[in-house]
């Protein structure tokens, strides 16, 4: 093989690997991603039952109930709509009423949400970025949420 041929084969081999990888990435991106929604998004977008999504919002004041066993249920709200979430497991340390939370799981036929993952930020004044933006887009000011226990 001449130098040119060698280089060509090298480049072709590289491109082949790159192509395979690109295919893999595209395939994974079509299947293995989760969409983020706020409770009021859910009403608009009609997420299918059983589809894996992330649901973000604030934990509504006074909505956390414990039991039975290790199950906790609480309401996630973006001040416009509220979704009841149940989660079997241990909540993160910073999970609190009135604080931001992101849950990952599936919608149930009855309109409730079963989460298998609950994330709360390592920051006392955390508001999920996606939520802050969604709310701003809907014209909700954040001060409203910060007020303690404002029943709507």
Partner 1 sequence: MNSIAEIGHFALILAVGVALYQFAVPLMGAQRGDVAAMRAGISAALLQFVLIAISFAALTHAYVISDFSVLNVVENSHSAKPLLYRISGVWGNHEGSMLLWVLILALYGAAVAVFGGNLPLELRARVLAIQGSVGFAFLLFIVLASNPFIRVDPPPIEGNGLNPILQDPALAFHPPFLYAGYVGLSIAFAFAVAALIEGRVDAAWARWVRPWTLVAWMFLTVGIAMGSWWAYYELGWGGWWFWDPVENASFMPWLVATALIHSAIVVEKRNALKIWTVLLSILAFSLSLMGAFLVRSGVLTSVHAFAVDPQRGAFILMILCVFIGGSLSLFAWRAPQLKAGGLFAPVSREGSLVVNNLLLCVACLAVFVGTLYPLALETLTGEKISVGAPYFDLTFGPIILPLLLLVPFGAFLGWKRGDVGLALKRLWLALALALLVGVIVLALNVRGPWLAPVGMAIAAWLVFGAIADVAAKTGLFKAPLATSWQRLAGLPRSALGTAVAHAGLGILVAGVIAISLWRIEVIVALKPGETAAVGKYAVTFQGEGPLTGPNYTGRTGAFLLKQGDRELATLHSEKRIFKPSGMPTTEVGLYQTWHGDVYVVMGDETTGGARAMRMYYNPLVNFIWFGAAVMFLGGLLSISDRRYRVGAPRRAAGMQAAPAE
Partner 2 sequence: MIWIVFAAMTAAVIGALLWPAVTSRPAETRAERAAYDRAVFRDQLAELERDVARGVIGQAEADAARNEISRRLIAAAGEVRAKTAPGFASAAIAATLIVPAVALPLYLMAGNPLLPDVPHAWRMENAENNGDMPALIQKVEQHLEKEPDDLQGWQILAPLYRRDQRWDDAAEAYRNILRLQPPDAANISDYAEARVMANQGMVAAPAQALFRQALKLDPTFPKARFYDALALKQQGKADEARAAFEAFLKDTPADAPWRPMLLAEMQDMSAKPPALDQQTMADASQMSGADQQAMIRGMVDGLEQKLAANPDNLEGWLRLIRARAVLGEAGKAKAAYDRAKGQFASNPDALSQIDGLAKEMNVE
Q: Which residues bind partner 1 (CB under 8 A)?
A: 3, 6, 9-10, 13-14, 17-18, 21, 24-25, 27-29, 31-37, 54, 66-70, 72, 88-91, 93-94, 104, 119, 121-124, 128-130, 134
Nearer to partner 1, 109 or 120 (CB): 120
Q: By CB under 8 A, is residue 151 in contact with partner 2?
A: yes
| Residue 119 neighbours by CB under 8 Å, 6+ apart | 92, 101, 102, 103, 104
Question: What is the sign of the dihedral through the CA atoms of 94, 96, 100 and 103?
Answer: positive
The single residue among 68, 139, 143, 149 that binds partner 2, judged by CB under 8 A, is 149
Q: Residues 52, 35: contact at Cβ < 8 Å?
A: no
Span from 18-26, 31-39, 60-68, 128-136 in contact with partner 2 (CB under 8 A): 60-68
């Amino acid at each position: 093989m001449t130098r040119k041929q060698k280089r060509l084969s090298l480049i072709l081999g590289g491109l082949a690997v790159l192509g395979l990888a690109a295919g893999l990435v595209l395939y994974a991106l079509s299947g293995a991603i989760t969409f983020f929604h706020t409770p009021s998004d859910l009403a608009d977008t009609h997420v299918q039952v059983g589809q894996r999504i992330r649901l973000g919002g604030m934990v509504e004041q006074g909505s956390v109930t414990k039991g039975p066993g290790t199950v906790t249920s609480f309401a996630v709200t973006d001040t416009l709509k509220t979704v009841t979430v149940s989660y079997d497991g241990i909540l993160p340390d910073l999970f609190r009423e009135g604080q931001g939370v992101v849950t990952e799981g599936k919608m149930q036929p009855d309109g409730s949400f079963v989460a298998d993952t609950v994330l709360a930020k390592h920051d006392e004044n955390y508001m999920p970025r996606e939520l802050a933006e969604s709310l701003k887009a809907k014209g909700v000011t954040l001060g409203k949420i910060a007020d303690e226990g404002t029943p709507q």
